[in-house]
Amino acid sequence: MIKIIIASLAGLTFTTYSFAAEEIVLDNITVTANRFEHKDTETTYASELHNAGQIAISGAATLYDYLAQQTSLNILSNIGNKATPSINLRGFGNENGYQNVAITVDGQRINSIDLTPALLASIPLSNIERIEISKGSGSVIYGDGATAGTIQIYTKNKTGVTFSSSFGNYGQQNHHISAGISEKIFDISANLAHDSHDGYSNTDNTGHRDSFDSNNQNAKLKFKPTDQFRIFIEATNSKNDVRYVSPLTLAQFNQAPKTAIGRFTHQTFDSTLWQLGAEYDITPEFQFRAVHFDEDKFSQFISATPSHANSRYKSNDFSLRLQHNPFNLLVGFQDFSGERHSFSDFGFGPSTDITTKKNLAVYVQGEYFLNAWTFSAGARNENVKYNFEPIINPFATLSGKDNSNIDAFDLGINYRFNDNLSAFANINQAYQAPDIDRLFNFSGGFNGFIEPAKVQTLNIGLNQNIKNHRLKLTGYYAKLHNEIYLVPIIFSNTNIDSSHKYGLEIQDYWQINDTLSASAIYNYTRAIIDHENESNGQYSGKQLPGAPKNSIVANLNWQFYEHAMLNLNHTWRSQAYAYNDFANNFSQKQQAYETTNMALNYQYQNYTLFAAINNIFEHKNSIQIQDNSLYPVDFVRTWHIGMKADF
């Protein structure tokens, strides 16, 4: 019966239903990706919004779960690590896609300068106010890495006290407490969060499972001495302990996906980040904003071949914003300095080095309004510098320096035919400067500097918003030069000479009646390698591995009682070529990803009881690297039950 309901939702998209005080007004959804607030139907770029109401009824316990089950993003654990998951948006692949999405939390960029994906485990799901996903745009404001788009996460400015706690099978625990007050001249809030499980696989040869433990603390302070002047500071600390599963053969996975082979990889990951900023309204229409960001990260792999890395990131963002009808203008300056001290010993002798990546950028973004038209234009210039200094190196690698000067631009238009229908189009140029791990070979030797990737993307879309129904269609085409990847045969980092991607995105919401709504997100994506000289040109004309053609997220929300809500969700992604299969000739493919989930919420006064079941039908999901090398992910049925209280 559940599968029949899910199939009936295949043509619907975009979940925006919530109940009680958090109900969403369909024609009043606003986005701020370009730092100007607009209805999403009036923007010149493709966007997707998720708010606290949607999060509350989804039944998801973590940000990973919500992004994987409820958004257009293709999210997978990073070879078993959900703390820093892989992200595929618009066909950049689950292996490298996360490096093509700029991610911010309250304006602070959390992307890494190396191959480590962003630490999403540091963001408690219940502390998120909204998530904005911009697609094929964002390079003017966010710069390096915004080749597929951006993800902006905004946390809550809490007043009062909220406590939530849940327990589930496999030792799942998720606890969160937040508190805050708001006065005339200051706002202050803080939250603590814990997320853990005991592991889903059998024990390895050391007696450990693929367990996970994450503890996070966050505090915010906003000081408002006058109506025109605001000072804000925010600090977050995250401590994570992760054990990764080992790869299995296809036969082992099909017979018993909980099989444990050898010793699981064990990693600890700590992060402390803070920001200090100020805003001053020079006039009601003219604002100056300055923010300093700082992050200190320490990652350690605990094994027979130990390695660790200590990274320090510092950045500043200064901007002037003018909002004077009929135009808006934003001018800004950004700088970033990232430094990593690393140590490793893989049997060739100890190796230590210092590698830095520094970015310096200026940008301008403007909008002009003329009757039913909105015109937008922006440009950015960014200089990226690298410096590699080996301290102890068994390969006697010489130090190296490199420098790149890269440009981005965005031109867009939106036309509102009437209150219910609008169309938009934009062309965007974006770039990805190589991360510092691309400087090295898999064996540890110096790889050499490679070219930045560049992409030009054309987006054309349509918004329809009528009573009880909301539809967004977007078609896109992206032309890439020097797309960055790891050659699987020789384990050397290089560039794909030329490639392209195109696709169709559909978001649709339907409020069937006062108690029933349905929604879905559908993506069709093609990612093609046009020409590549590596491996005697056998990759030319092939499909990029790790990028499924089709994906669907479908939801049914039923308010079956005044204070009770049932959410039924199904997520499906089609099969793809294995991560290393650039020649598209492996005998085994990345199998389709599938999960069916159900959540129940009951609200009584200030209390909410909730329960959820994930992967009801126990679909065996995995990550396929190559033939007979699979990592089990999201392959068991899990459940949790809990309570939230607001005071």
Q: Give 468-500 pLDDT, tens digit per residue.
A: 899 999 999 999 999 999 888 778 889 999 999
Angle at Cα 526 formed by Cα 524 and Cα 527, nearest 5°?
A: 145
- Structural domains in the chain, sorted by start: 2-646 (2.40.170.20)
| Confidence grade of residue 519 (pLDDT, cut at 50, 70, 90) | very high
Whole-number Å distance between alpha carbons of 498 and 97: 17
Cα 335 vs. chain centroid, distance in angstroms? 22
Task: Report the candidate in 499, 462, 506 with the shortest Cα–Cα distance to residue 477.
Answer: 499
Tell me how many helices (H) and strands (E) the chain has. 5, 33
Which DSSP state fits 22? G
Give the strand pairing for 38-39 and 30-31: antiparallel
pLDDT tens digit sequence for 415-436: 999 989 999 999 999 999 999 8
Separation CA 126–CA 144 (nearest Å): 29
Distances (CA, A) of 23 to 18, 19, 38, 57, 383: 5, 5, 19, 11, 45
What are the φ and ψ backbone dihedral angles of 99, each rounded to 5 degrees? -80, -5
- Residues 138, 624: contact at Cβ < 8 Å? no
Residues 6+ apart with CB under 8 A from 256: none
Cβ–Cβ < 8 Å for 159, 180: yes
The residue written with tokens 């384990």 in the block is: 491
CB atoms within 10 A of CB 499: 26
pLDDT at 24 > cutoff 70:
no
Mean pLDDT of 511-520: 93
Q: Report DSSP state, residue 346.
A: S
Q: What is each CA distance from 209 to 214, 245, 248, in whole angstroms?
A: 16, 8, 15
63 sits in which H/E element: helix 63-70
Residue 552 CA, chain-centre distance (Å), reads 18
For the residues 546-562, what does the mean pLDDT come to? 95
Instruction: Give Rg (Cα) of the chain.
Output: 24
Q: Which residues contact 245 (CB under 8 A, 6 or more apart)?
A: 79, 80, 201, 210, 260, 264, 631, 632
pLDDT value for 303: 74
The 3-class secondary structure across 405-459, one letter per residue, is: EEEEEEEEEEEEEECCEEEEEEEEEEEECCCHHHHECCCCCECCCCCCEEEEEEE
Read off the tokens for 271: 């992060």
pLDDT 10s digits, 349-390:
566 888 899 999 999 999 999 999 999 999 999 999 998 887
The DSSP 8-state label assigned to residue 118 in this structure reads: P
pLDDT single digits (tens) 63-72: 999 999 999 9
Q: How many of the other CB atoms lie within 10 Å of CB of 303?
A: 12
- Residues 555-573 pLDDT 10s: 999 999 989 999 999 999 9
Which phi and psi angles does 15 have, rounded to 5°?
Answer: -80, 120
- Reply yes or no on whether the pLDDT at 528 is more than 70: yes
| Contact between residue 400 and residue 446 where contact means Cβ atoms under 8 Å apart | yes
Q: What is the pLDDT of residue 3?
A: 42
Mean pLDDT of the chain: 90
Instruction: Give me the residue label for tokens 């009757």.
Output: 371
In terms of pTM, does the model score above 0.75?
A: yes
What backbone phi and psi angles, to 5 degrees, belong to 76?
Answer: -135, 150
Of 443 and 388, more confident: 388
Higher pLDDT pick, 350 / 294: 294
CA 601 to chain centroid, in Å, comes to 26
Q: Is 259 helix (H, G, I), strand (E, B) or coil?
A: coil
Cβ burial, residue 283 (10 Å; 0-12/13-18/19+): exposed
Q: What is the pLDDT of residues 110-153, one digit of tens each?
A: 999 998 999 999 999 999 999 999 999 999 999 999 999 999 99
**What's the distance, Cα to Cα, between the start and end of the chain in Å?**
39
Q: Is the pLDDT of residue 536 over 90?
A: no
Classify strands 550-561 and 516-531 as parallel, antiparallel or unpaired: antiparallel
Write out pLDDT tens, residues 170-222. 999 999 999 999 999 999 999 999 999 999 999 999 999 999 999 999 999 99
- Run of H or E including 605: none
pLDDT of res. 407? 97
CA atoms of 305 and 309, how far apart (whole Å): 14
pLDDT at 363: 98
Report the pLDDT value the prediction gives residue 468, as an integer from 0 to 100: 87
Asked if residue 623 lies in contact with residue 631, where contact means CB atoms within 8 angstroms, the answer is yes
pLDDT at 350: 62
d(CA 288, CA 320): 5
Q: For residue 398, what pLDDT band results from cuts at 50, 70 and 90?
A: low
Q: Which of these ranges, 486-495, 544-553, 580-589, has the smallest mean pLDDT?
A: 486-495
CA 453 to CA 432: how far, in whole Å? 5
**Between residues 33 and 646, the one the model is more confident about:** 646
621-645: pLDDT as tens digits: 999 999 999 999 999 999 999 999 9
Q: What is the mean pLDDT of residues 10-29?
A: 40
Closest alpha carbon to 240 in 270, 220, 217: 270
What's the rounded mean pLDDT across residues 530-544?
Answer: 93
> If 0-12 CB within 10 Å is exposed, 13-18 middle and 19+ buried, where does residue 258 land?
middle
Residue 211, H or E segment: none
- Give residue 21's pLDDT: 33
Q: pLDDT digits over 241-262, tens only?
A: 999 999 999 999 999 999 999 9
